[in-house]
Amino acid sequence: MKITEVRTTLLTGPATNDPFLREARARRSAAFIELLTDTGHVGIGETYIGYFIPEAVPSIVDFFAPILIGQGVDDIPELWQRMYQCGNFWCRVGLGTSVLNGIEAALWDLKGKIENKPVFELLGGSKHDKLPAYATGGPSNYPKDRLAAKIDHYFACGFRGLKVATGSFHPQDGWYTPATPQEAADFEGDKLTFMRQHAGKDAWIMLDGHMGNSVGLTWDVPIAIAAAKAVEPFDLVFFEEPLHYTDPWGYAELCRATSTPIAGGECLTAMYEWRVFAEAGSFDIGQPDASFTGGMGEFMKVADMLHQRGKLIATHSWGAGASLMQNIHCGFAAANTRILEVAPDFAGLHSEVMAPGSFRMKDGYVLPPETPGLGVVLTDDIKNRYPFVPGSGEFNSVPGKILTD
pLDDT for residue 402: 84
pLDDT for residue 165: 96
Q: First-to-last CA distance in the chain? A: 43
The DSSP annotation for 220-258 comes to -HHHHHHHHHHTGGG--SEEE--S-TT-HHHHHHHHHH-
Average pLDDT over residues 37-63: 98
Half-sphere exposure of 215 (CA within 13 A, CB side): 16
Which of 146-155, 172-181, 218-227, 327-336 has the lowest average pLDDT? 172-181
Name the band, by pLDDT with cuts 50, 70 and 90, for residue 234: very high
pLDDT for residue 388: 98
- Say how far apart CA 232 and CA 285 lie, in whole Å: 16
| Dihedral angle sign, alpha carbons of residues 283, 287, 293, 295 | positive
Complete domains list, the chain, with CATH: 3-117+380-385 (3.30.390.10), 121-367 (3.20.20.120)
Q: Is the pLDDT of residue 214 over 70?
A: no
pLDDT for residue 36: 98
Q: Is the pLDDT of residue 76 over 90?
A: yes
Mean pLDDT of the chain: 96
Q: Is the pLDDT of residue 322 over 90?
A: yes
Q: Is the pLDDT of residue 113 over 80?
A: yes
The DSSP annotation for 281-332 comes to T--SEE---TTTSS-HHHHHHHHHHHHHTT-EEEE---S-HHHHHHHHHHHH
Confidence (pTM): 0.97
- With CA atoms as reference, report the closest residue to 21 among 159, 167, 144, 169: 169
Average pLDDT over residues 363-386: 98
Residues of the chain above pLDDT 90, percent: 92
Q: Are 102 and 33 in contact (CB under 8 A)?
A: yes
pLDDT for residue 216: 61
pLDDT for residue 284: 98
